Amino acid sequence: MRFEISKVLDAIEGRVCTDPSLARAVLDLAEVIRYQDLDGGRPASLLRLGMVIDALSRELEEDSVPIYAVVHRALLSDADLTSNERMVVRRWADDGLVEVLDNPGDRMLEVADLLGLPVLTRVRFDGLRGRFPWLVEQPGRVLAPVPGAGGPVFVAHVGGGSTPVEGDRSPVGAKLLARQWRCPEPGCALFGGGGGGGAFADLARVERAPAGQPPPALRNGVPTCPRHGARLGDAGPRPRTEVLAVRIGGLVRRRFVLTEEQPVFIGRAPEASGGIVLGQWLNDEARRWISRSHLKLELRVGEVIVTDVSTNGSGIRPHGSMTEAERIPLAPNQSRVLGGADMVELYPGVQVGRARELPTGAPFTPTSVMAEAPTMAMRLPRN
């Protein structure tokens, strides 16, 4: 039992991040884990985060959807969580996967404002409508997760819809995210990357890629570390990125960020670090056709370069065209610049392209992060 719960928590861990290019909604972890009506279980449970993430996946009709979690520091020692759950949240905090704050205040709304993300919450923010007009002006920007027949469903605070709606990054957000920032606090998990410290705990920590830094908090107009309250230093322009997605059988299975720092390999099971593993989503035929490493993607001066590194080759679908006559073969070892709406196809129905150009939505359900959950934890209210 304990082992299975750990596996669920690992699956959930793959869905929390503070990367502004990947997160699809913001929530307050301390609030979500106390939605006791979702399962009628313990006063607090980290599994409820998984249930809400699954609901987001279902609504967006996309797999592997990550959320941005703001976490009150008190949660790290909350006696309503199991010791295992507390340990997991501490690990997320240490790795910068979540934002831990002494006083979250309205940080959740600030993140949503800067990044243009929807907010998943039951809290009403009547007093903040002046500062964040989208709270009322954009139906679908704020949704309450509530119990539904097959798990949580969303109800928009305004308009009553159920689909999360993304807005644009605010002008301030766009400005802040054009730079990279450095926190003076040694070992800062959000804006670190240097800073000495030298504690053993830091040795294993992967240095955070500057392209994935969260948005700074603004205090009196000054970019500030939300965790440490310290003024952030400007560490130069943020590296260029491109958000790509893999679509299999019509459903976006995963998004990933391409930077100029290193190429990304995609295939059945690429060995290179940071490779995109497709194996779990492929049928036998596709698995035989697609090489372990099939494609290499690089970002060079803003251009996405795709190189076939497979045995069987790939094809380019210009402007996403599904007309066979227009498919351009990409032979092994051949490279090509991927145009704005172009897709590269590894095998019929297995495509990679820019996330904003790849529509999703297929007649089957995204993979649940809760698939490994013991039935006891999955007990849902009947209706």
In whole angstroms, the minimum distance from the beta carbon of 227 to Zn ion comes to 5
How far is the C-alpha of 169 from the C-alpha of 111, rounded, in Å? 10
Kindly state the smallest distance separating residue 107's Cβ from Zn ion, in Å.
14
Determine contact, residues 128/235, Cβ cutoff 8 Å: no
Q: Which is nearer to Zn ion, 96 or 315 (CB)?
A: 96
- As given in the structure block, the two tokens for residue 223 are 């970019």
Instruction: State which residue, 76 or 158, has the beta carbon closest to Zn ion.
Output: 76
Distance CA 295, CA 309 (A): 5
Over the window 342 to 381, marking each residue x when it contacts Zn ion by CB under 5 A and - when it does not, the resulting string is ----------------------------------------
State in angstroms the smallest separation of the CB of 273 from Zn ion: 26
Spell out the residues 6+ positions from residue 160 whose beta carbon is closer than 8 angstroms to its own. Answer: none
Nearer to Zn ion, 181 or 265 (CB): 181
Q: Of 107 and 228, which has the nearer Cβ to Zn ion?
A: 228
Which CB atom, from 188 or from 370, has the smaller least distance to Zn ion?
Answer: 188
CB of 235 to Zn ion, least distance (A): 13
Helix, strand or coil, per DSSP, at residue 74:
helix
Q: Which is nearer to Zn ion, 197 or 339 (CB)?
A: 197
Report how far residue 319's alpha carbon sits from residue 306's, in angstroms, rounded to the nearest whole number. 15
Contact 21, 62 (CB under 8 A): no
Determine, following the binding rule CB under 5 A, whether residue 227 of this chain makes contact with Zn ion: yes
Q: How far is the CB of 46 from Zn ion (least distance, A)?
A: 24
Provide the minimum distance between the beta carbon of 217 and Zn ion in the complex, in angstroms, as a whole number.
Answer: 10
Please report which helix (H) or strand (E) contains residue 135, including its range.
Answer: helix 134-137
Rule CB under 5 A: choose which of 93, 101, 112, 225 binds Zn ion. 225
Chain centroid to CA 46: 18
Cα 269 from Cα 291, distance rounded (Å): 8
Could you tell me the smallest distance in angstroms from the CB atom of residue 106 to Zn ion? 19
The C-alpha atoms of residue 223 and residue 240 are separated, in whole angstroms, by 21
Contact code string over 146-185 relative to Zn ion, x by CB under 5 A: -------------------------------------x-x
Strands 68-72 and 99-101: parallel
Cα-Cα-Cα-Cα dihedral sign, residues 186, 187, 188, 194: positive
Rounded to the nearest whole angstrom, what is the least distance from the CB of residue 189 to Zn ion in the complex? Answer: 8
Indicate the residue among 183 and 377 with the shorter CB distance to Zn ion. 183
Could you say which of 17, 26, 135, 188 contacts Zn ion (CB under 5 A)?
A: 188
Candidate ranges 113-121, 187-195, 274-282, 302-310; the one touching Zn ion (CB under 5 A): 187-195
Determine contact, residues 188/216, Cβ cutoff 8 Å.
Answer: no
Binders of Zn ion among 298-327, rule CB under 5 A? none
The count of C-alpha atoms lying within 13 angstroms of the C-alpha of 153, restricted to the half-sphere facing its C-beta, is 9
Task: Select the span of 57-65, 88-96, 219-227, 322-330 touching Zn ion (CB under 5 A).
Answer: 219-227
Contact 122, 250 (CB under 8 A): no
User: With contact defined as beta carbons under 8 Å apart, do 344 and 334 qualify?
Assistant: no
* Nearest residue (CB) to Zn ion, 220 versus 383: 220
- On whether the CB atoms of residues 240 and 302 are closer than 8 A, the answer is yes
Residue 65 or residue 188: which is nearer to Zn ion going by CB?
188
Q: What is the total count of residues that contact Zn ion (CB under 5 A)?
A: 6
**CB of 184: closest distance to Zn ion in angstroms?**
8
CA-to-CA separations, 193 to 40, 102, 118, 213, 235, in angstroms, rounded? 42, 22, 29, 11, 11
Residues making contact with Zn ion (CB under 5 A):
183, 185, 188, 225, 227-228
